[in-house]
């Protein structure tokens, strides 16, 4: 079942979907947490997402990238999704949005 966000451009739709995925240990979505380093969309509607985890031994290291791929793949018009997991640079709290910091009482 494809999700339809036709009023938004493709990158906005991808961000919208990423904001619906939450880190299991921190009550903030992975986009606002700063786990998404890069989103590239080709003219062929192929998507490459470079992401990280809060730690290399994160309990969802195996499942979170798969969840990201499946959710983004469900967007109407996307033909292929490649999720690349990196720890360079390592994630730190500075990558979190102001919204995430506020949510976690860090402001």
Residue 66: per-residue pLDDT: 96
- pLDDT string in tens for the chain (107-residue length): 454 444 468 999 999 999 999 988 888 999 999 999 999 999 899 999 999 999 888 888 899 999 999 999 999 989 999 999 999 999 999 999 999 999 888 87
Phi/psi at 58 (5° precision): -60, 135
Domains annotated for the chain, with CATH where assigned, are 10-100 (3.30.300.130)
Of 78, 42, 49, nearest in space to 65 by CA: 49
pLDDT confidence of residue 24: 83
Cα–Cα distance for residue pair 29/62, rounded to 1 Å: 17
């Amino acid at each position: 079942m494809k999700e339809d966000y036709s009023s938004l451009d493709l990158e906005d739709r991808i961000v919208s979907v990423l904001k619906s995925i939450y880190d299991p240990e921190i009550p903030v979505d992975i986009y606002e947490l700063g786990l998404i380093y890069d989103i590239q969309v080709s003219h062929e509607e192929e998507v490459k997402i470079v992401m990280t985890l809060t730690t290399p031994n994160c309990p969802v290291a195996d499942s979170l990238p798969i969840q990201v791929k499946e959710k983004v793949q469900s967007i109407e018009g996307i033909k292929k999704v490649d999720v690349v997991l990196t720890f360079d640079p390592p994630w730190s709290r500075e990558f979190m949005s102001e919204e995430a910091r506020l949510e976690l009482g860090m402001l």
